[in-house]
Amino acid sequence: MIINKHIMRTTNEKQVLQQIVNAGPISRSQISRNLSLNKVTVSDIYSQLLHEGLIREVGHGVSTRNGGRKPVMALLNVGYGYVISINILRSRFSMITCRLDGRSENYESVSTRNVDLTSVLDMIDERINHTVSASPNRLLGIAFGLDGTIYDNQILGASLKGFKNFDLAKYFSDKFQVPVVLENLANESAIYERDFAGEGVYRNLISVTIRDQVAAGIVTEGHLYRGHNGEAGNIGCCPLADRYQEDNTETVNHYVAEGNVLQRIMAYQHLDRVDVNRIRRDYLGHRPELLSILDEFAYYLGKVLGNLSSTFAPDAIVVNAPILELLPELMDQVREYVGQMDICRKAPLLLTKNSKEASLLGGASAIIHRALALDDLQLTFGNQRSAVLEEVES
């Protein structure tokens, strides 16, 4: 079989850079052993990456048992540039900047209540411009996450008015002359669990995101599964039989979506806004009205998770829901309802480690992959490792 030399070269370059991102600080000889590539090829690629500024040398490692010179160690050069990740929700947008090693900075959340689409775009434009002006490094790409159906970087369906069929990627790519990646929030959360929290442990996982809608991000064999036109994981519109009258059905969103559950809580509390301290107090005080609402939530969420577990048989299901971050004890109730179901596969049910930034960091990973031209390769980000390395160097 004839293999194009240019393609082989590109593949080798990607794999060498992947090694430095995932295993750095690492030596050329170690990369050569890990990839079974000859040392000349690795050294050539290494020199090119060093010349481009994508990697940097950080001192010497330990020499072999036979003695000889200590190997020079290399790391990804996080000063090469940064990315921006933005999530657009019903009444706000949130934003972080992220270094190439996955370390996030400058989180902010901006209210967009009663603001039209044009004004929201202007507000985002202003924030990005401010970040670009304040940073000494260059912007390498932008990621956007929102509820809806996204395929091939196009918004085919969205819960937010005005976004359907709007070319958000082109709009900001033209403005800032960088690549822009669009993804739905559930897929971003799944990417986060794969690349940050899971550290490559889970090859098959589902991340269930509960926000304005209920959606699932599905990772199979390490790759995001999007289905036909990006419609995989749109579980919020699926019907669920009523707990007490099976002839009656409502959607998953009706029973489980964050906004609907909070509306029921505010109604019994006679409030026009969410009071998280009051919710926590009432829960610890065993307020019957609240416990009844949360029991319904746990029951129907259990049905959803049980069905996903039985259908896809993942290594784990991770739930990303602010209400469960506020009341983590409620997750035991969800597990009990799943335990009562007569299904073959009952996957471990976990809470995400970072409800606030999971989808933002997942988006950051997606655009880092794109900026480094590593879309098809696995990257794992270890923030603690990077922090320790910086401390050692200083």
Q: What is the pLDDT of residues 253-274, one digit of tens each?
A: 999 999 999 999 999 999 999 9
Parent domain of 262: 198-351
- Are 120 and 88 spatial neighbours (Cβ–Cβ below 8 Å)? yes
Between these two residues, 387 and 209, which has the higher pLDDT value?
209
In angstroms, the CA 297 to CA 330 distance is 10
Do residues 66 and 112 both lie within one domain?
no
Do residues 261 and 211 both lie within one domain?
yes
**Which residue, among 299, 282, 390, 290, has the nearest Cα to 59 in the 3D structure?**
390
Do residues 237 and 307 both lie within one domain?
yes
**Which residue's structure tokens are 């480690």?**
353
pLDDT digits (tens, 9 = 90+) for 300-348: 999 999 999 999 999 999 999 999 999 999 999 999 999 999 998 999 9
pLDDT digits (tens, 9 = 90+) for 142-162: 999 998 899 999 999 888 888
Length of the chain: 394
| 331 in any annotated domain | yes
Token couple for 198? 């899971």
| 58 in any annotated domain | yes
Three-state DSSP state, 281: helix
Question: 76, 93, 124 — which closes off a domain?
Answer: 76
**Which residue's structure tokens are 């072999």?**
64
In angstroms, the CA 140 to CA 366 distance is 12
Distance (Å) of CA 249 to CA 18, 184, 208, 339, 394 = 48, 26, 21, 23, 61
Do residues 202 and 185 both lie within one domain?
no
Token couple for 66? 């036979």
- DSSP state at residue 285: T
Three-state DSSP state, 97: strand
| 5 in any annotated domain | no
Do residues 180 and 305 both lie within one domain?
no
In angstroms, the CA 390 to CA 394 distance is 6
**Which residue, among 20, 18, 142, 149, has the nearest Cα to 81 in the 3D structure?**
142
The stretch 45-69 carries a mean pLDDT of 79
In angstroms, the CA 384 to CA 382 distance is 6
pLDDT confidence of residue 354: 87
Do residues 71 and 116 both lie within one domain?
no
Do residues 345 and 206 both lie within one domain?
yes
| 382 in any annotated domain | no
Segment among 68-82, 203-217, 357-371, 380-394 with least mean pLDDT: 380-394
Pairing between strand 139-146 and 180-184?
Answer: parallel
- Are 95 and 85 spatial neighbours (Cβ–Cβ below 8 Å)? yes
Do residues 106 and 69 both lie within one domain?
no
| 2 in any annotated domain | no
**Residue 55, strand partner residues:** 76
- Are 72 and 30 spatial neighbours (Cβ–Cβ below 8 Å)? no
| Segment holding 117, helix H or strand E | helix 117-134
Do residues 217 and 316 both lie within one domain?
yes
| 222 in any annotated domain | yes
In angstroms, the CA 352 to CA 347 distance is 15
**Which residue's structure tokens are 């395929």?**
151
**Residue 94, strand partner residues:** 87, 109
- How many other CB atoms are found less than 10 A from the CB of residue 324? 20
Q: Which residues of 25-34 are buried (b: 16+ CB within 10 A; e: fewer)?
A: bbbbebbbeb
Instruction: Report whether pLDDT(65) > 80.
Output: no
Which CATH number characterizes residue 242's domain?
3.30.420.40
pLDDT confidence of residue 202: 81
- DSSP state at residue 270: T
The stretch 272-293 carries a mean pLDDT of 95
In angstroms, the CA 304 to CA 176 distance is 41
Do residues 322 and 246 both lie within one domain?
yes
Which CATH number characterizes residue 45's domain?
1.10.10.10
| 132 in any annotated domain | yes
Q: Is 328 buried (19+), middle (13-18) or exposed (0-12) by CB count in 10 A?
A: exposed
pLDDT digits (tens, 9 = 90+) for 217-249: 999 999 999 999 999 999 999 999 999 988 899
Do residues 27 and 132 both lie within one domain?
no
| 333 in any annotated domain | yes
Percent of the chain at pLDDT > 70 equals 92
In angstroms, the CA 176 to CA 331 distance is 43
Do residues 131 and 72 both lie within one domain?
no
pLDDT confidence of residue 386: 41
Sheet holding 104-111, edge to edge: 104-111, 92-99, 82-88, 139-146, 180-184
Tell me how many domains the chain contains. 3
